[in-house]
């Protein structure tokens, strides 16, 4: 499984130009395809979902050409030229739900009896309901054949004359059904008006407003009575507005605005603002309810943390911003109490069952989550735990959880490429506005001076100091004390995973006992080197070591700080010295502590240990290409510290 590890972040600030809105891009592509005349579409989003729509209109015979950064769509004037096609819609709900009614309308009254358009998608798409929409189309006379499970894609659309003047559709499963019918309506209402009635409460209304707004830009007027009855007057045709620029994506804006609120800020998103036609800009109001400071411009929004520094818990009806609301469920981790997200039942039929998915993944970070049929309550933990997040092929799950890093936790995102659905550049953009907790990694062989140098540098920088070797030494000590064999990998990994050890200043405590000296014995040195060669032991200590990365920063020393534990460390040093110099230092250390020491034995042990540490299969000791080499054979401690401090200047 591919993954991306996101380190804990100190803060977020900066400015982001939003990628084009998916909702607008896909609507504009279809309307431009159906319109009379060419439309030059600017700032179109390029992502999996928009590719789906673009490929679909091309498959239906519409010409599309790139013109610099823009796309020229040569409209077909109300009837797709090719009505024999197999269209793959991936996992784009908006695409299939708007294409189906438009194609059905084009199939009406044609003279090619063999015309047929089939639509299919990824397995999840075949679980997403479309039956209510098809029922509506059948009221008009459409011929639709289910190719799999009735009510779900894949399906085949066949020619049939559409006759009725009235169609009703459920409004409480997906507002995309209504959008699909509305967009196809002018193609149906050629001689007589078409009335669309919405059964039940209409959810996600702002998306329908986007639809109406864009239809108007393409010359079609819709009469609306409240949110339950829409009339499309007869004889209207889509006509190209010539050129149209796609607004920035307001749903995507939610991640960056939240980053500003959770990570200090200010973070500004450019491309959607006060004048936006997208309902998701209202996400900023929800952040304001949490206490974030929001500033609005015509086409930008800026968010920063509340002056008090603490975000407030919320209880909100989020029916109007279902997508951006997912971001709020992660923001809830930063609130001062339990927060409730209400009226989000549509989450259940999205890319995945988002209520179940968000609950499961928020719990991994330590939150207490109560799941209801149409709501979610999130109680933040005292402290976030590092978590490995599953993403369910859902771009928004992946993007949302990146925000947890602003709470000081490491987050591993599995299958990060799922963001390609709407924002292929997401993680790079997120990295551009966030500052990871700095790490200075010092690796090197025994007695090269890592511990001594790391302690001094950490004190000078005000950072924490992680002596990772001590963890392996404690495992060895615990094993020796409990009589666990030093090659019993499973038992040792068990010990390592549940190690009741703590660092307290210079002291190392095991089960509350001071074992600072005991772990430095030669028996423990040799034992540590042996247990450290076992992959399961290293695995068991992996997240534990990462948990030491906290603000304001960390100096980590060992053998694999820069290669495995903190591969993104901003500064990496490989500290070494000749074997003789190191044996000599170890000898002096032991004598100073009143411990027995023999120079020949020490030199031999040290060479054996170097050999074992360098030759082992997992995380062997070696200088990484991006680490600075420091040979201290002929240096004083002060000189070594000065060298590292000079390198550390890069952290500021
Ligand atoms: N140039 C130097 N840099 C770091 N330590 C040095 C240097 N010269 C002598 N020493 C001494 O070497 C000894 C071993 O250092 P230590 O930090 O325990 O190494 P490590 O953690 O790499 O095993 C310490 O007593 C330290 O004072
Ligand atoms: N990150 C680390 C740190 C130590 N180890 C191993 C290597 C050593 O043999 C033991 C003990 O490490 P430690 O740094 O305490 O050893 P020295 O003080 O350098 O002799 O653990 C490791 O494999 N990976």
For residue 345 the two structure tokens come to 């039942």
Ligand nearest to the CA of 577: 1
Residue finishing a domain among 416, 433, 450 = 433
Structure confidence at residue 619 as a pLDDT band (50, 70, 90): confident
Asked if residue 46 belongs to a domain, the reply is: yes
Asked if residue 253 belongs to a domain, the reply is no
Do 501 and 408 lie in one domain? The reply is: no
Span from the CA of 257 to the centroid of ligand 1 (angstroms): 47
Q: Rounded distance, CA 571 to CA 31, Å?
A: 52
Q: CA 186, CA 188: separation in Å to the nearest integer?
A: 5
532 lines ligand 2 (CB under 6 A): yes
Return d(Cα 475, Cα 537) in angstroms, integer: 9
Question: Mean per-residue pLDDT for 527-549?
Answer: 96
**Structural domain range at position 391:** 3-18+258-433
Residue 127's pLDDT is what? 95
Digit-coded pLDDT (tens) for 556-572 = 999 999 999 999 999 99
DSSP state of 651: G
Q: pLDDT (tens digit, 9 = 90+) per residue, 606-615?
A: 999 898 888 8
Q: Which residues are catalytic?
A: 323
Q: Do 229 and 275 sit in the same domain of this protein?
A: no
Phi, psi of 408 (to 5 degrees): 90, 10
Ligand 2: atom nearest CA of 443 is: 1
Query: Does residue 196 sit in helix, strand or coil?
Result: strand
Nearest atom in ligand 2 to 446's CA: 19
231 and 297: one domain?
Answer: no
Number of domains in the chain: 3
Residues 387 and 499 in one domain: no
Binding site as annotated, residues? 22-23, 27, 93, 128, 174-176, 204, 323, 350, 354, 396, 421, 444-452
Q: Report DSSP letters for 51-86, one per residue.
A: HHHHHHHHHTT-EEEEETTEEEEE--SSS-S--EEE
Task: Please report the pLDDT score of residue 500 as a whole number.
Answer: 93
Which alpha helices (DSSP H) does 410-521 contain, by range? 426-433, 450-461, 468-482, 489-497
Pocket of ligand 1 (CB under 6 A): 444, 446-453, 585, 589, 632, 635-637, 640
The answer to whether residue 417 is domain-embedded is yes
In a domain, 291, yes or no: yes
Check residue 447 and give left, alpha or beta (phi > 0: left; psi -120 to 50: alpha): left
Q: What is the pTM of this model?
A: 0.90
**Residue 161 contacts residue 173 (beta carbons within 8 Å):** no
Q: Per the annotation, where are the binding residues for 3-phosphoshikimate?
A: 22-23, 27, 174-176, 204, 323, 350
Q: What is the pLDDT of residue 407?
A: 97
Task: With CA atoms as reference, report the closest residue to 211 among 171, 183, 181, 230.
Answer: 183
Q: Whose atoms come closest to the Cα of 471: which ligand?
A: 2
User: Which is more confidently placed, 47 or 590?
Assistant: 47
Summarize the confidence of residues 231-240 as an average pLDDT: 97
Q: pLDDT tens for residues 376-403?
A: 999 999 999 999 999 999 999 999 999 9
Q: Is 622 among the domain residues? A: yes
Asked if 465 and 560 sit in the same domain, the reply is yes
Q: Are residues 445 and 492 in the same domain?
A: yes
- Residues 175-193 have a mean pLDDT of 96
Q: Examine the domain organization and report whether 517 and 530 are in the same domain.
A: yes
Give the helix, strand, coil percentages of the chain, each rounded to 5. Answer: 40, 25, 35
Q: Provide the 3-class DSSP secondary structure of residue 465.
A: strand
Do the Cβ atoms of 305 and 275 come closer than 8 Å? no
* CATH number for 427: 3.65.10.10
Same-domain pairing of 211 and 270? no
Does residue 392 fall inside a structural domain? Answer: yes
**Residue 251 lies inside a defined structural domain of this protein:** no
The C-alpha angle with vertex 175 and arms to 269 and 359, in degrees rounded to 5, equals: 65
Can you tell me the ipTM of this complex? 0.95
CATH number at residue 445: 3.40.50.300
- Position in ligand 1 atom list of the atom nearest CA 446: 23
Tell me: do 375 and 447 sit in the same domain. Answer: no
Q: Is the CB of 525 under 6 A from ligand 2?
A: yes
pLDDT at 82: 97
- Yes or no: say if 44 and 246 are a contact pair by the CB < 8 Å rule: yes
31 with 66, same domain: the answer is yes
Residues 153, 188 within the same domain: yes
HEC-encoded secondary structure of 363-382: HHCCCEEEECCCCEEEECCC
Q: 207 alpha carbon to ligand 1 midpoint, in Å?
A: 65
Q: Whose CA is nearest to atom 12 of ligand 2?
A: 469
Question: What is the band of 18 on the pLDDT scale with cuts at 50, 70, 90?
Answer: very high
Specify whether 48 is located in the same domain as 101: yes
The CA–CA distances, whole Å, from 37 to 78, 239, 240, 245, 464 equal 10, 7, 5, 17, 65
pLDDT recorded at residue 120: 98
**Across the strands, what pairs with 168?**
197
Which of 444, 448, 449, 557 should be mutated for ligand 1, with most atoms under 8 A from CB? 449
Which residues are known binding-site members for ATP?
444-452
39-52 burial string, b = 16+ CB within 10 Å, else e? bbbbbbbbbbbbbb
Q: What is the pLDDT of residue 312?
A: 98
The rounded Å distance from CA 451 to ligand 1 centre is 7
Q: Is 541 in the pocket of ligand 2 (CB under 6 A)?
A: no
């Amino acid at each position: 499984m591919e993954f991306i590890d996101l380190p804990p972040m100190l803060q977020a600030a900066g400015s982001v130009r939003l990628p084009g809105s998916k909702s607008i891009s896909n609507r504009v592509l279809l309307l431009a395809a159906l319109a009379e005349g060419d439309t030059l579409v600017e700032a179109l989003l390029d992502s999996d979902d928009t590719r789906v729509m673009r490929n679909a209109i091309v498959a239906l015979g519409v010409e599309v050409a790139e013109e610099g950064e823009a796309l020229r769509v040569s409209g077909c004037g109300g009837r797709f030229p090719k009505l024999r096609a197999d269209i793959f819609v991936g996992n784009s709900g908006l695409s299939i739900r708007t294409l189906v009614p438009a194609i059905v309308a084009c199939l009406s009254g044609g003279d090619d009896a063999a015309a047929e358009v089939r639509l299919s998608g990824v397995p999840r798409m075949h679980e997403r309901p479309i039956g209510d929409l098809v029922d509506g189309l059948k009221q008009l006379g459409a011929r639709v054949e289910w190719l799999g499970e009735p009510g779900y894609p894949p399906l085949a659309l066949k020619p049939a004359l559409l006759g009725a003047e009235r169609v009703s559709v459920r409004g409480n499963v997906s507002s995309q059904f209504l959008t699909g019918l509305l967009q196809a309506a002018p193609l149906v209402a050629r001689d007589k008006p078409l009335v669309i009635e919405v059964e039940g409460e209409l959810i996600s209304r702002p998306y329908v407003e986007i639809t109406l707004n864009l239809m108007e830009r393409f010359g079609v007027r819709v009469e609306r009575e409240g949110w339950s009855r829409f009339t499309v007057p007869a004889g209207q045709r889509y006509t190209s507005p010539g050129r149209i620029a796609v607004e920035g994506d307001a749903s995507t804006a939610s991640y960056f605005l939240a980053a500003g609120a959770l990570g200090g800020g200010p973070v500004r998103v450019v491309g959607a603002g006060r004048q936006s036609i997208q309902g998701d800009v209202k996400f900023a109001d929800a952040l304001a309810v949490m206490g974030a400071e929001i500033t609005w411009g015509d086409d930008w929004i800026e968010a920063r943390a509340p002056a008090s520094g603490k975000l407030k818990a919320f209880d909100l009806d989020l029916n109007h911003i279902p997508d951006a609301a997912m971001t709020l469920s992660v923001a809830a981790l930063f609130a001062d109490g339990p927060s409730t997200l209400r009226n989000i039942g549509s989450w259940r039929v999205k890319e995945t069952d988002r209520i179940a998915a968000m609950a499961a993944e928020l719990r991994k970070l330590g939150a207490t989550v109560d799941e209801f049929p149409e709501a979610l309550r999130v109680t933040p933990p005292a402290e976030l735990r590092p978590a490995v997040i599953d993403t369910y092929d859902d771009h928004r799950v992946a993007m949302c959880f990146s925000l947890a890093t602003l709470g000081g936790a490491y987050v591993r995102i599995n299958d990060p490429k799922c963001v390609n659905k709407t924002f292929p550049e997401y993680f790079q953009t997120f990295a551009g506005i966030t500052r990871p907790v700095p790490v200075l990694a010092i690796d090197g062989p025994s007695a090269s001076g890592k511990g001594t140098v790391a302690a001094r540098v950490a004190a000078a920088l005000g950072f924490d100091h992680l002596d990772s070797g001590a963890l392996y030494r404690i495992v060895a000590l615990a094993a020796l004390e409990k009589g666990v064999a030093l090659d019993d990998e499973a038992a040792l990994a068990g010990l390592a995973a549940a190690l009741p050890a703590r660092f307290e200043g210079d002291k190392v405590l095991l089960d509350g006992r001071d074992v600072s000296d005991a772990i430095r014995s030669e028996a423990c040195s040799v034992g540590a080197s042996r247990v450290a060669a076992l992959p399961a032991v290293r695995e068991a200590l992996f997240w534990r070591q990462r948990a030491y990365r906290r603000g304001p920063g960390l100096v980590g020393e060992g053998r694999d700080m820069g290669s495995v534990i903190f591969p993104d460390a901003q500064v990496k040093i490989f500290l070494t010295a000749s074997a003789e110099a190191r044996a000599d230092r170890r000898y002096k250390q032991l004598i100073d502590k009143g411990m027995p020491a023999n120079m020949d034995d020490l030199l031999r042990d040290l060479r054996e240990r170097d050999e074992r540490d360098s030759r082992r299969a997992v995380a062997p000791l070696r200088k990484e290409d991006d680490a600075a080499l420091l040979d201290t054979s002929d240096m004083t401690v002060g000189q070594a510290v000065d060298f590292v401090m000079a390198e550390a200047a890069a952290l500021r």
